[in-house]
Amino acid sequence: MEQSKPLARIIGSGVAGLAVSIRLAQKGYEVHIHEANAYPGGKLSEFRLGAYRFDAGPSLFTLPQHMEDLFLLCGEDPVEHFPYLQKEESCRYFWEDGKRLIAHSDPRAFAEAAQVSLGEPVQNTLAHLALAKKQYEATSGFFLERSLHRLRTYLRPAIFRTLAALPSLGLTQTMDRIHRRRFQSKHMVQLFNRYATFNGSSPYKAPGTLCMIPHLEFGVGTFLPKRGMVDITHSLMALAKRQGVKIHLSEPVQRIHYEGKSASGIELQSGIVLSADLIVSNMDVTPTYRRLLPGLAAPEATLRAERSSSAFIFYWGMDRQFPELNLHNILFSERYEEEFEALFTSKTLLDDPTVYINITSKDVPNDAPSRGENWFVMINAPSDNGQDWDALRTQARAAILSKIQRVLDVDASEHIVEEDYLDPRRIESRTSSDRGALYGSSSNSAMSAFLRHPNHGPLKNLYFCGGSAHPGGGIPLCLLSAKIVGQSVKG
């Protein structure tokens, strides 16, 4: 008689939830994903406005090998199932004083362009990127690819390489302080300070450790799935199904059941109780404890940690094309430090925000009509603390249009033919992200990485994956959180 498989239930079908389902299926589990929404992907979903298609959430794709690893794990060729392209440019930058810079993905081309456009000596840029590469390679295996909360991580030989790199990481200095020391141009300082926003933090508070983030763009590269960012979700979902994973949409979970120190199953909102040998929460850790585990002692220091930033996103279908823009574009605030002070101290918006414009139709033509473009326009916003978001949305829209008018010399409002928006309230309601924070807790202190929730839970067969757990938010880190859970679970 065939022995039954152990049963794993995953709460949430975000990128990490889909990835961990594949890894558990490969380990011999019968896997079920329970998703509250009628669609998979969490933040990484899509929608249409008339003839325009939009990726709802994450817009930057780096470290594609973590996607490829999942196909290879299943004996499949990634090229057949998940085609993507590499961009020659990482981003275009604009300042109100007229300065503009095309940041090429090639480090030397970027450095030479920065010298011409911003007056920054080539050697400064190359030295900074070389150090970022060295630091990333010395620490990623420790900080990102293993649990920081398991003793065995610290007993691996690789720890010595990480320890040797610690003096250069700037743990006691802020990103801004390090950048001011390394660069002559205030524009270059601002450009590299923006990488703190990759995990929802402030460069004026976040430790110098985050100065290694640019290596992902200039050392590894910037990529785009040929069918849009949502193809990350679609490809993972299809791969999971081919491994036998069962995905249940519109099936919210309202409770995790446990007996003693072991999780025993989940209770659906419908009242049905389903048993499980293993449970993985791809839900934000805060609502997991507050709503699904109300009777269990919660890690209050972690749950009360400062939230990361959130966002205001406007989705605009434009009736014309803008050749001066590319896939990724940044229009910088002239009062950058004040912008982050507003976000993290005053919990509001500056009237001169930094504006990010993402246009996938530059590379995926079907995302917009032939003469139009699909604009994903985002500014950083504070997490939800009861602000008047309707008033702030009106303020944000006006500030964004004013910034575009001053920098690009165009009244963008005249070309908007379709429109929708996302604010912290909608982010929380659609993704269960605590207070609409995009990355769980912020990284505004040197100890933030160690305070982030571990991938194992308080019950011996309960695990966590996704942006609010270790190692953090963003597509590559979510995929790594799934990998860590897969490594932790016995097959």
Distance CA 198, CA 209 (A): 13
If one counts the domains in the chain, the total is: 1
Cβ within 8 Å of residue 489, ≥6 positions away: 24, 27, 278, 463
pLDDT digits (tens, 9 = 90+) for 257-309: 999 999 999 999 999 999 999 999 999 999 999 999 999 999 998 999 999 99
In a domain, 27, yes or no: yes
Q: Which helix or strand (DSSP H or E) is residue 311 part of?
A: strand 310-318
Q: Which helix or strand (DSSP H or E) is residue 303 part of?
A: helix 300-303
Distance CA 340, CA 358 (A): 21
Which CATH number characterizes residue 80's domain? 3.50.50.60
Instruction: Supply 209's token pair.
Output: 């450790």
Distance CA 348, CA 346 (A): 5
In a domain, 275, yes or no: yes
Q: Which helix or strand (DSSP H or E) is residue 92 part of?
A: strand 89-94
Do the beta carbons of residue 276 and residue 379 sit within 8 Å? no
Instruction: Supply 250's token pair.
Output: 């519109």
In a domain, 213, yes or no: no
User: Which amino acid belongs to residue 206?
Assistant: A
Detail the DSSP E strand segments found in 131-235: 223-225
How far the first Cα of the chain sits from its last, in Å, is 20
In a domain, 426, yes or no: no
Instruction: Supply 430's token pair.
Output: 């659609």
Detail the DSSP E strand segments found in 135-261: 223-225, 246-248, 253-259
Q: CA dist 324 to 24, 303, 362, 374, 443, Å?
A: 46, 43, 11, 15, 33
Distance CA 466, CA 96 (A): 37
In a domain, 39, yes or no: yes
In a domain, 434, yes or no: no
- What is the pLDDT confidence band of residue 209, given thresholds at 50, 70 and 90? confident
In a domain, 460, yes or no: yes
pTM of the model: 0.94
Question: Is a pLDDT exceeding 70 seen at residue 148?
Answer: no
pLDDT digits (tens, 9 = 90+) for 355-384: 999 999 999 999 999 999 999 999 999 999
Q: What angle do CA 43, 232, 31 make, to 5 degrees?
A: 85
| Residue-averaged pLDDT of the chain | 93
DSSP letter at 459 equals: S
In a domain, 273, yes or no: yes
**281 by DSSP, 3-state: which?**
strand
- The residue with tokens 């982010």 is 427
pLDDT digits (tens, 9 = 90+) for 396-441: 999 999 999 999 999 999 999 999 999 999 999 999 999 999 999 9
User: Which amino acid belongs to residue 412?
Assistant: A
Between helix 475-488 and helix 15-26 the angle, nearest 10°, is 30
Residue 232, domain extent: 7-44+60-84+226-304+446-488
Please list the helix, strand and coil fractions of the chain in percent, rounded to the nearest 5, in that order.
40, 20, 40
Q: Quick check: bond before 424 cis, omega within 30?
A: no
pLDDT digits (tens, 9 = 90+) for 7-32: 999 999 999 999 999 999 999 999 99
Closest CA to 423 of 433, 412, 413: 433
Question: Is a pLDDT exceeding 60 seen at residue 246?
Answer: yes
Share of the chain above pLDDT 90, in %: 87
Do the beta carbons of residue 165 and residue 246 sit within 8 Å? no
- What is the pLDDT confidence band of residue 3, given thresholds at 50, 70 and 90? low
